[in-house]
Structure 1
Amino acid sequence: MAFSLFGIGKDHSGDTKNKVVEIKVEQIIPNRYQPRKVFDQDGIRELAQTIDEHGLLQPIVVREYESAKYEIIAGERRYRAVKLLNWETVPAIVEKMSDKETASLALIENLQRSQLSSIEEAQAYRQLMDLNHLTQSALAKGMGKSQSFVANKLRLLKLIKPVQTAILDHRISERHGRAMLDLDEKQQREMLMRVVNERLTVRQTEDEVAKTLGRPLPSELAKQRAEKKRQELADLEGTPTEEIEVEESLKIPSQEKPKKKVKANKQHKKASTSKRSSKASDGRLALNTIKKSIKLATDNGFTITTHEKDNDDTYQLVIEIPKKQ
């Protein structure tokens, strides 16, 4: 076998039969640890049609759990397809494996195919941990995932069964389920009914959950963050053009970078121009702009001396720059 995670697929001292044999379909049962709960019937029919036209290119893998009785290790979709075609026998490779190895391999094979729903994936992780006595960290390392990824999947198992089933049946999304994690069982049940009947979006669900728990609404928090970001951008765009030009001219050669063109819509340009006009009338702003330019120059290694005086009607600022730096 190609799998070697958690000691699975290691040599069994010559006991493994690697040749392909024909086994009666009626002697085969699905894997009892198959993590996939929902099979795409249209996909199975398409696979059956392909097998009918081209034959079974890859044998299924089974183990003999009792005399003349076999359990699928890998290839349940192929098994379902040949049953649909009413085949009497199917090509198979027989492996000798323990219950633990069979279960673990079935789980790993399906996880690596990345075709499981989020709930099926979480259940598979939990079963692997229980079967092999693994910590979240060890499982994550073995599966090539981060521990936080595995932990977040496992949290879905805290949802009540009806919510998990709704995710399995694609009636709600994984994100809907995550939004309900902090609710108790009764609240989850009520929220599930609302999500399905009212067709709530994820954001609406998050808001309704927040209302139930007496928390700030995520949508309002998102608006506040967006407004803060917009204001920050507006403040930056409101910087006088003269200040930007001075800053660019004072950059030392080693720090020069190609200027990027910034596009803005006409409406925003008008707002920015209006803002600059109103601010330009403020003498204090002009003075601060000059000071920023001076600071930028000194930060770049220039020696500059300033003398500032606050008169009744004017600000006086004398700047001395030695010719030789």
Structure 2
Amino acid sequence: MKHPFSRFFGLGEKEEQQKEMEEPNKNDEIMKLSISDIVPNRYQPRTVFNDDKLSELAQTIHTHGIIQPIVVREYESGKFEIIAGERRFRAMQKLGWETAPAIIKDFNDTETASVALIENLQREELTPIEEAIAYGKLIELHQLTQEALAQRLGIGQSTVANKLRLLKLPQEVQQAVLNKQITERHARSLIPLKNPEKQIKLLEEIIERNLNVKQTEERVVRLLSTEQKPKPKRKAFSKDMRIAVNTIRQSLSMVTDNGINLDSEEEEFEEYYQFTIKIPKKK
């Protein structure tokens, strides 16, 4: 029998591996294991399990039973670690089942992690952050480049690169993506800011003001423009200049108090202070 998801390791076809992982082999014995003896996969990339969808799955299992057993491996102290099928396991827990149908495989840590990661990636139900974490773990486990991983998964290298960039964002931003408070495109828009404090501050603004992606990108451009072109520091007023400016202001107030309408503007420049006075001619 080929290794489940063997294409990832350079063998077989994707459809065959999916079938091999999901359907028991003729030689595989389906065991009834105590639910209390089964533990979640340590390498599970999914961190958010939708309770409503789990309830729907539980109802389906209650009505039709388990079509596909979960896949486990022997763990420590008489326990069994899930390799594939954690959602089914959680649904059975919801139903209060005492036992679960399972196939026991002899997998090592690397194989267990790889199967769990790839199974979830192929189901396309992970959040962008969970997907990025899965890519990162696969690269680490198999010492791959981004390009090599992309080839093995049948996706573009840019897809892998863009997902991994999300992991460089502050934890607050990543959590907002996980909680679906912002989209992946929102998060990617924050990357050019680089400064974590500014990224978090803009994240708060996105959520508070419900900014769309275009508005977020425009906000980032303005912030970057401000960073690149700092405003020149204004020269401090000397004592004599303050006296002169205040004297002119008092004079203008006296003219206005005497019933003469005038229009005055004040402008401060780097080298000087300017008053513009307009006195309308009487008709």
Fold agreement, TM-score > 0.5 = yes
1:176 Cα offset (Å): 0.5
- SS of 2:192 mapped into structure 1: coil
Aligned to 2:199: 188
1:149 Cα offset (Å): 1.4
Aligned to 1:291: none
Are 2:9 and 1:6 equivalent residues in the alignment? Answer: yes
Aligned to 1:48: 58
Aligned to 2:210: 199
Counterpart amino acid of residue 30 in structure 2? V
TM-score by length of 2: 0.71
1:7 Cα offset (Å): 6.5
Aligned to 1:102: 112
Decide whether the 8 Å contact of 1:6 with 1:132 is kept in 2: no
Aligned to 1:25: 35
Matches within 5 A, 1:213-252: 213-214=224-225
Are 2:90 and 1:80 equivalent residues in the alignment? Answer: yes
CA distance in 1, matches of 2:157, 2:212: 29
1:155 Cα offset (Å): 1.1
Decide whether the 8 Å contact of 2:10 with 2:152 is kept in 1: no
Paired residue for 1:71, among 70, 81, 96?
81
Are 2:163 and 1:153 equivalent residues in the alignment? Answer: yes
Counterpart amino acid of residue 178 in structure 2? L
Sequence identity, in percent?
A: 53
CA distance in 2, matches of 1:7, 1:38: 31
1:158 Cα offset (Å): 1.2
1:214 Cα offset (Å): 0.3
Deviations 1:20-61 (A, max 9, x none): 000000000110111111111101001111111111111000
Decide whether the 8 Å contact of 1:28 with 1:72 is kept in 2: yes
Aligned to 2:146: 136
The worse-fitting range, judged by mean Cα deviation, of 62-71 and 117-126 is 62-71
TM-score by length of 1: 0.62
- SS of 2:102 mapped into structure 1: strand
Counterpart amino acid of residue 78 in structure 1? R
CA distance in 1, matches of 2:197, 2:58: 44
- SS of 1:181 mapped into structure 2: helix
Aligned to 1:212: 223
1:67 Cα offset (Å): 4.7
Counterpart amino acid of residue 201 in structure 1? N
Aligned to 1:38: 48
- SS of 2:44 mapped into structure 1: coil
CA distance in 1, matches of 2:180, 2:4: 32
Counterpart amino acid of residue 68 in structure 2? Q
CA distance in 2, matches of 1:65, 1:147: 35
Aligned to 1:282: none
* Number of residue pairs matched by the alignment: 210
**Residue segments in structure 2 that go unaligned for 5+ positions in a row:** 12-16, 18-26, 227-283
